[in-house]
Amino acid sequence: EVQLVESGGGLVQPGRSLRLSCAASGFNVDDYAMHWVRQPPGKGLEWVSGINWNSGRMGYAESAKGRFTISRDTAKNSLYLQMNSLRAEDTALYYCAKGSGRYFDSCDFWGQGTLVTVSS
């Protein structure tokens, strides 16, 4: 059974850093594209970052470029999102999502999300 469990969210002050983790089971994260998608309270979905199956290519939303870094650990079967220089507008529920295949396409499974609140 495919499972994705996000962790690492919390309350953080503007300008600080946070690292989100996504522990996967039921499949190998190295065999699929993986993504982070966020949803501000009461708003729509916003793609944040993605990485294809062999980590050969990564992509970032304009809002994340230069501040966020996506990575994965095959040994731990996990996906990560390092978030630096956090801003109030980064406040959102962050979802980890499994790609349907090796490259950027659709996502066929989502975790339940971890909440990030950026506030002083």
Write out the residues near other proteins by the rule CB under 8 A: 35, 37, 44-47, 50, 52, 57-59, 61-62, 95, 100, 103-113
Q: By C-beta, is 13 or 42 nearer to other proteins?
A: 42
Q: By C-beta, is 80 or 94 nearer to other proteins?
A: 94
Token code pair at residue 39: 């949803």
Q: By C-beta, is 13 or 49 nearer to other proteins?
A: 49
Instruction: Tell the smallest beta-carbon distance from residue 36 to other proteins (Å).
Output: 10
Identify the helix (H) or strand (E) that includes residue 109.
strand 107-110
Instruction: Tell the smallest beta-carbon distance from residue 101 to other proteins (Å).
Output: 10
Compute CA distances 71 → 12, 20, 55, 82, 109, whole Å.
21, 10, 8, 8, 19
Q: Which of 76, 74, 67 is nearest to 19 (CA)?
A: 67
